[in-house]
């Protein structure tokens, strides 16, 4: 049982449909970095529909994730809270496939909040917020228990380097590579080749079924988390190699979904946002994405609170409402999606709830107002690492690598224990007193720390904000790391192998 979690206060007693409420689509990439798109400066990545979202809408240069790694960043998106507030913290930092924990059901997700506003809610793609709760295959933590009435093709654990038949046996792949349709097993181990196509077809189906009422579609992609894969129509499509193929395939999927919105003539009533969960897996080198001009390759990617780990490529699209071709420099966060969508849907939240970190950025999207944030707080697990304040980044704690660069640049199978600098408390973590100060507008690579003696008043202001912020944190039991081997997902027990026929397979082969 979780303690100390404030519940969300609704001012509506019954569900209602607000005439004119916009539709919402959230595209959520996996481990895609700030420099992975042509429109964010990559020199060889092909331009695709994701870039076109920026041409037709808005591109954000200072959008921050709720965390620097998969599970907590997803929890922050869906709940509008920092992960420390809901127990999504701990040495493991992510849910494993056999964990008995999951996203706390005491939390009202944005899907549940929008249901109260009369929205149809759907999800396809990667979940990574818990699977089974009490017995194997009960699916007690899957999306349908968190407000998603439609759940198409979904990957409760996402994908893993072991999901590669060229390198692993069926038995090895089965442990972490499996696919569901709603709460039902579809495949174990997973054949990734059809995954993007299946997700797109499910997304189209959901939009078609709900085009005449407000809907919320959450579409977290598998790309571009290792292991990398590509469907037949995208293999070899990029000058950049297999990683570029992945970006092209994901971008195609975004285009297909937005084209569906246009075909049903609902684009002027649809807000779509594309973001990534955290920074790129830099240890994989050319197979691990790019943080662009943010913190250098050695220490600045996924798992860290350097800019490359938490600053995301972001696009917002809403024809007729969001100005086309705008580049927005306001400091905003993934946690803001919660309050923004709820406000646009006509809902009301308890504005006095200091444990809800989300703030509406509806005015920012319209290019009408500045960011509602004076401060953004960046954590590694339950440890406050840094604060963003205006153009400044104040880092109290940073993560460093102690291994030679060449030792962690992988071309084969990575070592899970060395794959990233995910640690929050070991000897690779350095405290700074006084803290490091960077002007991240002028120095986004965080290469030139400022002299703290010249910024005493600013530091006092930030330190007081940190004190006030920490006073709102209520100790909460962790829901991570609760391993129970009996909860390992297994279809066709005890074989843990199934490969049910999927209706899209033959169709994809003929269309791609």
Residues that are catalytic:
70, 128
d(CA 313, CA 363): 20
User: Is the CB of residue 215 less than 8 Å from the CB of residue 207?
Assistant: yes
List beta partners, residue 392. 389, 439
Which pair of structure tokens corresponds to residue 14?
């019954």
d(CA 29, CA 33): 9
For the CA atoms of 269, 274, 275, 281, the dihedral, rounded to the nearest 10 degrees, stands at 160
Length, in residues, of the chain: 512
Measured in degrees and rounded to the nearest 5, phi and psi for residue 73 equal -65, -35
Which pair of structure tokens corresponds to residue 510?
């003929």
Helix (H, G, I), strand (E, B) or coil at 197: helix
d(CA 156, CA 147): 16
Nearest one of 145, 148, 66 to 103, comparing CA atoms = 145
d(CA 171, CA 396): 44
List beta partners, residue 220. 28
Helix (H, G, I), strand (E, B) or coil at 101: coil
Measured in degrees and rounded to the nearest 5, phi and psi for residue 394 equal -110, 115
Which pair of structure tokens corresponds to residue 12?
């509506």
Q: What angle do CA 377, 383, 386 make, to 5 degrees?
A: 35
* Residue spans of alpha helices (H) in 167-241: 170-174, 195-209
58-64 and 326-328 beta bridge pairing: parallel
d(CA 328, CA 232): 36
d(CA 445, CA 196): 33
d(CA 287, CA 353): 42
Torsion-angle region of residue 93: left (phi > 0), alpha (psi -120 to 50) or beta?
A: left
47 Cβ partners below 8 Å, 6+ apart? 38, 39
d(CA 210, CA 205): 9
Nearest one of 316, 346, 321 to 119, comparing CA atoms = 346
d(CA 345, CA 364): 16
* Residue spans of alpha helices (H) in 379-512: 456-471, 505-511
Nearest one of 224, 214, 235 to 117, comparing CA atoms = 214
């Amino acid at each position: 049982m979780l303690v100390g979690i404030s519940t969300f206060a609704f001012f509506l007693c019954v569900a209602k449909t607000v005439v004119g409420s916009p539709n919402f689509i959230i595209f959520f990439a996996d481990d895609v970095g700030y420099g992975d798109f042509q429109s964010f400066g990559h020199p060889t990545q092909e331009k695709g529909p994701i870039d076109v979202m920026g041409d037709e809408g808005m591109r954000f240069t200072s959008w921050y994730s709720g965390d620097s790694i998969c599970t907590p960043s997803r929890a922050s998106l869906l709940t509008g809270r920092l992960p420390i507030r809901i127990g999504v913290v701990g040495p493991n930092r992510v849910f494993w496939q056999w964990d008995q924990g999951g996203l706390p059901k005491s939390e009202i997700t944005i899907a549940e909040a929008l249901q109260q506003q009369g929205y149809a809610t759907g999800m396809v793609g990667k979940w990574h917020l818990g699977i089974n709760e009490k017995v194997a295959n009960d699916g007690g933590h899957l999306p349908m228990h968190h407000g998603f009435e439609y759940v198409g093709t979904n990957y409760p654990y996402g994908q893993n380097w072991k999901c590669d038949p060229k390198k692993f046996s069926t038995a090895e792949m089965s442990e972490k590579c499996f696919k569901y349709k709603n709460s039902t097993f579809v495949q174990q181990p997973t054949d990734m080749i059809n995954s993007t196509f299946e997700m797109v077809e499910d997304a189209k189906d959901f939009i078609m079924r709900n085009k005449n009422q407000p809907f919320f579609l959450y579409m977290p992609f598998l790309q571009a988390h290792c292991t990398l894969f590509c469907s037949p129509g995208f293999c070899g499509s990029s000058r950049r190699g297999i990683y570029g193929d992945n970006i092209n395939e994901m971008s195609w999927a975004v285009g297909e979904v937005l084209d569906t919105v246009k075909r049903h003539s609902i684009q002027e009533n649809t807000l779509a946002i594309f973001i990534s969960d955290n920074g790129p897996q830099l240890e994989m080198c050319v197979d691990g994405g790019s943080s662009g001009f943010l913190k250098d390759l050695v220490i600045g990617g996924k798992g860290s609170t350097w800019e490359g780990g938490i600053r995301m490529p972001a696009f917002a699209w809403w024809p007729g409402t969001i100005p086309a071709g705008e580049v927005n420099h306001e400091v905003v966060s993934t946690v803001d999606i919660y309050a923004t969508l709820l406000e646009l849907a006509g809902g009301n939240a308890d504005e006095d709830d200091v444990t809800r970190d989300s703030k509406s950025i509806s005015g920012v999207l319209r290019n009408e107002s500045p960011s509602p944030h004076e401060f953004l707080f960046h954590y590694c697990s339950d440890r406050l690492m840094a604060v963003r304040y205006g153009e400044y980044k104040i880092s109290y704690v940073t993560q460093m690598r102690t291994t030679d660069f060449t030792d962690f640049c992988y071309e084969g199978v990575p070592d899970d224990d060395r794959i990233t600098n995910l640690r929050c408390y070991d000897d690779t973590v350095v405290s700074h007193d006084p803290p490091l100060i960077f002007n991240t507008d002028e120095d986004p690579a965080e290469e030139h720390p400022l002299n703290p003696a010249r910024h005493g008043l600013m530091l006092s202001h930030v330190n007081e904000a940190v004190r006030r912020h920490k006073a709102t944190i209520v100790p909460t039991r962790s829901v991570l790391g609760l391993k129970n081997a009996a909860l390992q997902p297994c279809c066709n027990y005890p074989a843990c192998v199934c490969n049910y026929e999927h209706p899209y397979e033959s169709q994809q082969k003929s269309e791609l």
